[in-house]
Amino acid sequence: MDYTYIRHIPSPPLDAYIDYLYYQNSFRYSHEKMLPMKSLHLLVSFGDAIKVFDAFRAKPVAVLTESWVIGTWNVCHVADWPLDMQFFGVCFKPGKAYPFLQLPLSELHNQFMPLDVIWGHYDAEIREQLYTAPTIQAGFTLFERLLLARLGEAPHGLDVVQYAIGEIARHHGVVSIRTLSEYIGISQNHLNTHFKRMVGTSPKEIARLYRFESVLNSIDPTQPVDWTLIARQFRYYDLSHLNKDFEAFIGHSPTDYLRLRRQMWTENPEHDRLLRTLPFD
């Protein structure tokens, strides 16, 4: 089967909650390291089971079949992709999945949860209808309608969370959570409580993920990289501090990461631009 990856921006009002929908039917590598994620993903699969391991591929974490939700992750993990696979997915905007799932998202932090645990029989209805969609675009249109039916009311405090996330994103994660809390007019503990319920983790961790993602986005694999300059640009204390984030988040030094990025870019520039995975030997 030819490799297909398609993104689709949903129509209003879903575009206020969802970055994009996507369809994928294969991966470039049979084993890939999945990078930490600040956003929740929902996947509806029609292929064989996907096996997920810890970062060293030493311990199984999950076997994913049918449909599931992936929470925010602050560590990487390894996926073994089957030959027979295709799925539709949802990438929620940070802090915007709660109205669809209606459960404390801290329960999904660093977790994979079968969708039927949350939506019951509606999960099977979604899979059946998406499976029979005549085209991928028709599947996106149908998926939008099915998601819209699950959109509930925004909980109290979501506006505070969204403002805080907006400020974190605007500053590429380089922001004082204490100063941000004071500006909003609530305590850090109160902001932490809102974040854990509606985002899945603390504002400090989300800021770290935004900063690290900004570091990765700043890297051009075709050019030399000045790691000291990057550390200074994104307000790391020093190069050692940047190295620790690389090791903590993806289990590679900056130079090893750059080598893998260059390998991906050489083999497929479009795949490299997704910045979601790395080859895993």
Q: Which amino acid is at 70?
A: I
User: How sure is the predictor about 275, in pLDDT bands with cuts at 50, 70 and 90?
Assistant: low
Q: Which amino acid is at 110?
A: N
Here the tokens at position 71 are 């929470």
Per-residue CA distances from 49 to 65, 87, 126, 130, 279 (Å): 5, 11, 18, 18, 20
User: The whole model's pTM is what?
Assistant: 0.91
pLDDT digits (tens, 9 = 90+) for 140-192: 999 999 999 999 998 899 999 999 999 999 999 999 999 999 999 999 999 99
